[in-house]
A and B are shown apart, each in its own frame.
Chain A
Amino acid sequence: MKKKLLFLACLGITQLTNAQTNIEFEEYDLDNGLHVILHEDHSTPIVAVSVLYHVGSKNEPQGRTGFAHFFEHLMFEGSPNIGRGEFTTIVQANGGAINANTSFDRTFYYEILPSNQFELGLWLESERMLHATVDNKGVETQREVVKEEKRLRIDNQPYMSFQQNMFEKAFADHPYGHTPLGSMEDLNAAQISDFADFYETFYVPDNATLSIAGDIDPDEAKELIKKYFSDIEKGSKDIPRPKPAFSVMNGEMVDTVYDNIQLPAIFLGYRIPGQSTKDSYALEMLTTLLSDGQSSRMYKTLVDGEQLAIAVQTFPFALENGGLFVTLGVTNMGVSLGDLKNGIDREVERVRNEMISEKEYEKVLNQLENDFISRNSTMAGIAESLANYHVYYGDANLINTEIKKYREITREDLQRVANTYLVNSNRVVLYYLPKKQ
């Protein structure tokens, strides 16, 4: 099981949709508030069963950072009916694949099963929702695993501390100021009652979306869902949902990080509004313009032309209540970070000062269209998209219509958002330099 944090996962992923696809689905709520989305597709005898809990690192109170991600691990420990550590082996020994991930905004679990094991998937997810095992033994085991995960993914990897360094600075006054991994001290200090409280608050049907895609008969599916989920009680506690108003930063923040690296790198992060806003769509289009494909502006000038960098990537770290427009560049040999930064700044300045051409605008839309179609090519992808669209945008049908949102963005909008958000006073600059041996 390669449970992932959504760290660099946003690299290269764009969230788009296309008017040509027609993904049919139906959705409804159970009495306990569980939202259900069903998509029927018989082309392969598999089914993706997923549950999205609307809890991420932003819901964590002070002193309890890392809890949401920690639960992603703890939720594999079992239940009164599932032995410790058996959750995953049950799925795999029945021909399924399983995974989970945690972001700033939500925690997502899914199984992809042979379709004759659909009921098994419902049983497993309902056990997790009803009465997952939250005890000392499990907490101890998973604490060690999470520490190893941090060592593997962050501490022992070049440049990977960037996410924490960047969010800490860009969102100092905001729940996004700590990343999903949180602090090991908080996890060490937490008592079992804190974990139990977190479970009872957030892992409740009225905070969850059950999204299913694949080889199912919807009527039969509804019966089975009722059988396994209807007896799970609604949550009894208030769910903390911080919704800080968006504001741009008031001043550039610059820092230098010494890391175990050979090639210096630069990370720029501009603070941007939440992902459902029109401006967020426009900013996403700018990332495509700047670094998607070899004819993209930054690749063409900085990597190919002037050879300042071996890699330049711009990606939207778009989140529910704000996010970052991230640009990273790794210097080519013998190039100074200053020269690379000037090169990147020049390209950002260009989108602020000049309106993009009709042809480039059309190219960006074509790229987005292609990305979208590919994105919904798997059952797991469709289940996840449907759940995301429902939770974040309140409209699961965006899976079919979201492309319109991009088409509504004009070239003027692109220039406007560049001038609003892609300005020096609204960014964090991180220089990564080799640690002296």
Chain B
Amino acid sequence: MKKIIAFIFCLAFFNTAFAQLDRSVRPEAGPAPELDFGEYKLYELDNGLKVIVVEDHKLPRVSMSLVIDRKPVFEGDKAGFIELAGEMLRQGTMSRPKAQLDEEVDFMGASLNTSSSSVFASGLSKYKEKLMELVADVAQHPAFPAEEFSKLKKQMISGIESSKDNPQAVAGNVFNARLYGKDHPYGENATVESVNAVDLDDCKTYYSNYWIPNATYLAIVGDVKAKDVKKLAKKHFGDWKPGNKPESTYPTPTKPDGLAISFINKESAIQSVLVMGNTINLKPGDPDEVKMALTNEILGAGAQGRLFLNIREDKGYTYGAYSNYDSDRLIGEFTANASVRNEVTDSAVTEFMKEFNRIRTEPATDEEIRGAKNAVIGSFGRALERPQTIANFALNINRFNLPEDYYETYLPRLEKLTKEDVMTAAQNYIQPNHMHLTIVGKASEVADKLESFGKVQYFDEEGNVTDKPSMPVPDGVTAQTVIDKYIEAKGGAENMKKVKELEIHRKAVMPGAPAPFDQVDLQKSPSLYRSTMTVPGYGVVQEMLYDGEKAYMTNQMGTKEVEGPDLLSIKLDALMNKELKYDELGYKLKLLGMSMVDGKKAYVMEITDPMGDAFTRYYSADTYLPIKEEKKTDTPQGPVISTTTYSDYREVKGVKYPYEINLIMGPQKITLTAEEVKVNEGIAKDAFQKKE
């Protein structure tokens, strides 16, 4: 019997083990709950003020928001006056000096804030009448006291100064200026100068033009009765006189070709703040809005977005990478952002671009679509926890003329979307080939590596164009010390002087050309020079010759003798070892500073030849050999910078020569690779005679 009991025990034991929870099975969802979109009441007063009421009796609270429904306003050289006007509304009314207003608000434990187009107040519902009275007083009878105005100006200027420390704020401001243009209301930023230029009258005029009841909504939410609110609104807002709604139009911002990179240098930065994006033509209520919501959810709205999963979770470049979009009656925007550590700035840009292109060209997976739809539905559900959401929906329906059931049908419309809808929306609204990228970061460490994505332009914190920043030169380093070290690095003056003849054969690779060209440089001391470019099977396409007296240029159009200043210039170029006697020849050297070239520190030297033509040469701070040269050339299309880079230095008879040279001018790039460098191996004299 004992055995049987033991046996049964064993069974029981095994049974429990068997019935144990299978943790590998993720719990299934129950039936989807119904979302309750609540109800609102809308009343219109005789003066045109629209009153929206949402009753919610869960907590004894009430909130009131008065919203001016106005078009964007361009402020120009007084940028900041609208914001100041909004703050002035909080500085007291005709019958309530500021101190009294503050006291009355705080004594209820309430809050009351104003902006250029709103008043927002909240507090316990037992104070609803008093709150409404204060909101109405502030909106209709602001006193605009002069002494508060000068205080606010000073504070706003301090705020502008202080925001220059905040890399996110700077990135946002400059991005907007670049995306919309500084002549657009969305692109202009208040500056110290523009705020200084604002008069109190500017604020008063703005207020009287735009604060009119027939362009205004009052939304009341909370533990109130709709009919009481209606009565209260009539009492406190009924006498407000209507006015004419101001109209305005603005030019549509143009989009750049390719990626327009704007860099704001912060020498102290240890992270690069990246903001990128393009304008979109997407208005509130557009049928595409729900598609863009889903697309953005997949791409980068949160931690399940591709940007986050790739750039944070997989690469660890950042704490977060996100994308966003805004629909807008004037012009909307798609943006993406991240703060990444300096050394991976360019890699992060690569990943952003990759993801933008991927969502445009590859269908999302079923799992992504399902997950993103659930996320959008979930955020809807959470938003409904706040009764203000219902009021916001009502406001949007009325301001933007949306169908009354816009929000009720939003989720069913979302459910119907397909992979194709996502790709189409991405193609329409995410445009990596017409994008602005703004970076706040340490230029000396990160900027040069960005050149491969597009032209990098430099800006100050206010979005004004500036020069490329340079780094300070260490103590004791001068133009002469750099040249001396360079000569030493190249092989030393002794070895260099021994070079009497130099013959270099190179292959020249040009994009678009069917095969590499042959390029031969011949040089004989003191100053004979011939440089020939040949296409195999075709013949000479370009040649430059200096025979000791005269210079000739040959191209497909024929041969021409070079005269005047160009002759002098070629004569100087032909001179062997001119670096050894810059002084004697009349060259001027100026050490401009230090900079980074492809991640390497370099001395930046401005070299001016005896004719006064200047170019910039970058000497590696490590090897002292030249790694880059820049020269500005004026062309009929305007100035063009031509860049030459030098690398792969190899020694031939004690002197170093760059075996790889890249010539870059505008979109053109030629790569020259040396195949043979011959020193003092004999060059026939007639090699430098003009061929007839």
Residues of A within 8 A of B (CB): 1-2, 20-21, 43-46, 80-81, 85, 88-90, 92-98, 112-120, 122-123, 127, 130, 141, 144-145, 147-149, 151-153, 155-158, 215, 227-228, 231, 260-263, 292-296, 300, 303-304, 307, 310, 330-333, 359, 362-363, 366-371, 373-374, 376-379, 435, 437
Contacts and interface: CB of A to CB of B under 8 A. Distances in A.
A296 B340 CA distance: 40
A435 B268 contact: yes
B27 A300 contact: no
A95 B374 contact: yes
Given A332-B154, A370-B109, 5 more contacts: A1-B320, A152-B339, A307-B154, A369-B109, A373-B124
A85 B370 contact: no
A294 B106 contact: yes
Given A94-B374, A95-B377, A261-B165, A371 B109 contact: yes
Contacts of A369: 109, 124
A44 B122 CA distance: 22
A92 B303 contact: yes
5 contacts: A119-B27, A147-B341, A260-B268, A367-B106, A377-B386
Nearest to B104: A295
Contacts of A333: 154, 157-158, 161
Contacts of B158: 263, 310, 330-333
Contact of B304 (A93, A148, A153, A157): A93
Report the 9 A-B pairs with minimum CB-CB distance, sorted nearest first. Answer: A95-B378, A93-B371, A45-B33, A370-B109, A144-B316, A366-B109, A116-B30, A295-B102, A293-B106
B29 A145 contact: no
Interface string B38-51: 00000000000000
B397 interface: no
A228 B26 CA distance: 12
B381 A295 contact: no
A90 B267 contact: no
Contacts of A118: 30
A123 B26 contact: yes
A66 to B, nearest CB: 15
B162 A370 contact: no
Contact of B316 (A98, A119, A148, A294): A148
A376 B162 CA distance: 34
Interface string B367-403: 1001110110111011011100000000000000000
Interface string B328-370: 0000000000011100000000000000000000000001001
A370 B108 contact: yes
Contact of A263 (B29, B161, B367): B161
Nearest to B339: A152
Contacts of B102: 293-295, 300
B31 interface: yes
B664 interface: no
A160 to B, nearest CB: 11
B161 A151 contact: no
A228 B21 contact: yes
Contacts of A300: 99, 102
Contact of B61 (A141, A310, A377): A377
Nearest to B107: A363
A127 B107 CA distance: 49
A88 B33 contact: no
A120 B157 contact: no
A278 to B, nearest CB: 22
Given A368-B109, A369-B109, A45 B27 contact: no
B416 interface: no
Given A85-B313, A88-B304, A332-B155, A377 B374 contact: no
B110 interface: yes
B109 A367 contact: yes
Nearest to B34: A45
Contacts of A215: 33
B378 A97 contact: yes
Contact of B271 (A43, A156, A295): A156
Contacts, number: 220
B62 to A, nearest CB: 11
B381 A304 contact: no
Nearest to B368: A93
A370 B165 contact: no
A379 B381 CA distance: 12
Nearest to B167: A156
B371 A117 contact: no
A360 to B, nearest CB: 9
Contacts of B637: none
Contacts of A96: 378
B35 interface: yes
Contact of B270 (A94, A156, A437): A156
Contact of B106 (A97, A114, A157, A296): A296
Given A119-B27, A120-B27, A89 B303 contact: yes
A373 B59 contact: yes
Contacts of B31: 116
Contacts of B165: 158, 260-262
A191 to B, nearest CB: 20
Contacts of B340: 148
B371 A92 contact: yes
Contacts of B372: 93
B509 interface: no
Contacts of B381: 44-46, 95, 114
A263 B24 contact: no
A124 to B, nearest CB: 9
A294 B34 CA distance: 43
Given A263-B162, A295-B106, A378-B385, A141 B111 contact: no
Contacts of B166: 157-158
Contacts of A370: 108-110, 123-124
A293 B111 contact: yes
B341 A262 contact: no
B159 interface: yes
B255 interface: no
Contact of B303 (A1, A153, A367): A1
A2 B320 contact: yes
Given A46-B385, A94-B378, A116-B29, A363 B319 contact: no
Interface string B285-314: 000000000000000001110000100110
A262 B31 CA distance: 56
B91 to A, nearest CB: 10
Contact of B35 (A45, A81, A98, A261): A45
B21 A231 contact: yes
B155 A310 contact: yes
B341 A148 contact: yes
B685 interface: no
B23 interface: yes
Contacts of B30: 115-119
Given A45-B33, A151-B270, A145 B375 contact: no
A371 B123 CA distance: 9
Nearest to A293: B106
Nearest to A331: B158
B105 interface: yes
A93 B61 contact: no
Nearest to B318: A148
A96 to B, nearest CB: 6
A149 B267 CA distance: 20
Contacts of A149: 319
A165 B375 CA distance: 40
B555 to A, nearest CB: 50
B3 interface: no
Nearest to A89: B304
Nearest to B125: A373
Given A263-B162, A310-B158, A373 B316 contact: no
B231 interface: no
Contacts of A330: 158, 162
A434 B163 CA distance: 14
A373 to B, nearest CB: 6
B23 A127 contact: yes
